Amino acid sequence: MPGFGPLGPRAATVRPPKDVDAYMVQTWFKNCSAPGAADGTIPTASWFNHLIGQFVYAAGQAGVALSNDDDYDKYLWEIIQQAIANALSGIVVGGDTDGDGGVIIEPTVITAYKNLPLFPEILTSTKKLAVTNNGDGTITINTGQSFLWRGWRKITLDDLALAARTVAHSASKTYHLRWYAPGHALADETTYPNGRILLQDLADPTYNPTTAAETDVSFDSDFDSMLVARVVTNGANAPTVLPLVNANRWQNTYARTTYLYLGSSYALYRDDAYTTDLARTPNVALSRLYEGPTADHLDGAETGVSPQVVNRYGITVRSYVSVDGVGNYAPIYSFLAILN
């Protein structure tokens, strides 16, 4: 560590032995009783060295580099800041990046955040972020919106510059508009604390190395990567933006509320499609089924209710109830779509 202490031809480069504390009580400096009197307290080298030693030790524990540059007087403040940051967040301490000799806190590894298994949650009534088509080949995530990262840190879009919220698109493409948390492989420490917004091309082998379908679960929001919207452009580069629901916990009930006669064939069934527009693929659970469309006691001799398609954007449920001598009906049922 660079030196910190008195400068001059009589300064010691090795700390001298300290004076023995013979008082064993708290003592204080006092002034002389009168001009010329010799009854005041004499400051000794040992006492000053004790102060310097405390300062140097604290700086070393905090990782703050000291020097004898008397133009730089922020050491104590930086030691306090760094000690608090280290204790609370377990963050990594970086070096001087602004040229003033000071230490810079780089929160690239935030242990407390990484231990919270919580999905991003958008803090709007719809759980979606509004996006504006600028009409010039770019789109922008609007201000006046916010979301939670790992249930702890509130990210406010107003804190991101316009350029950071705006992305460019090309014609005849399918994109995912995503937010990446600081510390993610695509959002280094310089993006702290607000992270980074990117428009990811599904045809880009870096983003989609296995050429997976756009609906594949591998593209769902995860703890540190939020799928904000699907963006599809036409040949004229006009975008269609579909904002998606982001929530740590969410559920909704979907239902068929009336019976529907399908016909006399027992091979008939009904496929009902329900729109969800979620950022994650939901779990589905049947919550209610009525299989008696007529007074016949043989109603429901053969019954089926099952999801045929489940992805972020919707759920298709196939159902039928066979009535002896009559044919098939679509029954009354309800189910839960759940994000957990």
Mean of pLDDT values over 165-193: 92
Residue 266 has pLDDT above 70, yes or no: yes
Question: What percent of the chain shows pLDDT beyond 70?
Answer: 87
- Give the pLDDT band of residue 299 (cuts 50, 70, 90): low
Cis peptide before 193 (omega within 30 of 0): yes
Among the listed residues 161, 157, 267, 280, the one whose alpha carbon sits nearest the alpha carbon of residue 218: 280
3-state secondary structure of 50: helix
Number of neighbours of residue 56 by Cβ within 10 angstroms: 16
Among the listed residues 177, 180, 178, the one whose alpha carbon sits nearest the alpha carbon of residue 169: 177
Domains and CATH numbers, the chain: 1-106 (no CATH), 121-243 (2.80.20), 250-339 (2.60.40)
- pLDDT for res 10: 86
Among the listed residues 80, 48, 89, 77, the one whose alpha carbon sits nearest the alpha carbon of residue 61: 80
If you compute the radius of gyration of the chain from its CA atoms, what whole number of angstroms results? 34
Mean pLDDT estimate for the chain? 87
Tens digits of residue pLDDT in 194-250: 999 999 999 999 999 999 999 999 999 999 999 999 999 999 999 999 999 999 999
Top-confidence residue, 196 or 26: 196
Tens digits of residue pLDDT in 65-117: 777 765 666 777 788 877 776 665 544 444 444 444 444 444 444 556 677 89
Q: 140: which DSSP letter?
A: E
